[in-house]
Homo-oligomer: A and B are copies of this chain.
Amino acid sequence: MLFLDAIHCQNHSRPPVWIMRQAGRYMPEYRQIRSQYNFQEMIHKPELAAEVTLLPIHAFDMDAAIIFSDILTIPESLGRPFQFKEGIGPVLENPLTSPQDLDSLTPTTSLDFVAEAIKLVKPQISVPLIGFCGAPFTVASYLIEGGSSRDLKKTKQWLLRDPASFHQLLDILTQATIKHLQLQISAGADVVQIFESWANHLGYSQLQEFCFPYINRIISQVDAPVIFFGRGTVGVLEDLIQLKPHAIGLDWACDITQIRKNVPTNIALQGNLDPQVLYAPHDTIRRECQRILSGMEGDPGFIFNLGHGILPDISPDAVKVLVETVKEFQCAHESSPF
């Protein structure tokens, strides 16, 4: 299978393609389901989560599925469930404010519903299934900020002023994360992706102290290939390589071809089209996809993706153009006389 071959840097056909947040609001089929159920229901009911997971596979013939879930299931399993408010995002009514609050973070509810959804999806797809989690620092930031935040100020102040208790929090989250990834893998996830979505808020020494050691622990303890996606971490590439993930996910703020020169050939690269390019005329979308495809042509460890999640107001037609462009690249590549 293209996707697994590429993860193992052994793909000799056209690159596989999937899209972060591919089962999302930009799809009319998703919005139709969402009009009947709220986001929490869609995640918690395995039949719904499975149905949503399959939508982009059916609509676009993606080369990998990713289970429909959320990185905030981990806080939920530790007794801190978020609410998802329309137009605001995830909200936690009682964010963590002091080290004493960590005592209340204990395994409370099961995440078996994610495993159930995976088991429902697996027999229905012929492509690999990706499980996922948020990285401990990113999840910690949601617990401390009580939701999304522009500057993660409370989180940064906590880790700068009381690093010891911040490490305790990361340790609790890391344990729960490893358990949750193993649950997903046991249920049938072929590959897992770790989203360190807020890594861009950390300086280098902070990444070294509060991000990398925990990612390292996760990678070494889960029994499936790991894709590490850390937003804004291209400036610390040497450290990412040291983590030895199977693949590194790149955001759009870099030239993936330049990056490839500095990444060993046994680590795959995933990315990195600017998600906003999908607002462009179809010719521009094709040209921008082809630019990345040409730059990575013949690379056995390249996975085509966006550099971040797809935006909710993108047209499905634009996604079709993207997927077709990647899949047609095979012909150009294989029919080449050179």
Q: Which residues of A contact B (CB under 8 A)?
A: 150-151, 153, 156-157, 160-161, 199-200, 202-206, 232-239, 250, 252-256, 258-259, 272-274, 276-277, 279-281, 284, 288, 291, 307
Contacts and interface: CB of A to CB of B under 8 A. Distances in A.
B235 A280 contact: no
Nearest to A313: B153
A219 B253 CA distance: 22
A157 B279 contact: yes
B161 A279 contact: yes
Contacts of A284: 160
15 contacts: A153-B276, A157-B276, A160-B277, A160-B281, A200-B253, A203-B272, A203-B274, A203-B288, A204-B253, A204-B256, A232-B232, A233-B253, A236-B253, A236-B254, A238-B258
A223 B28 CA distance: 56
Contacts of A291: 205
A204 B252 contact: yes
A69 B151 CA distance: 25
Nearest to A239: B255
A274 B235 contact: no
A237 B237 CA distance: 12
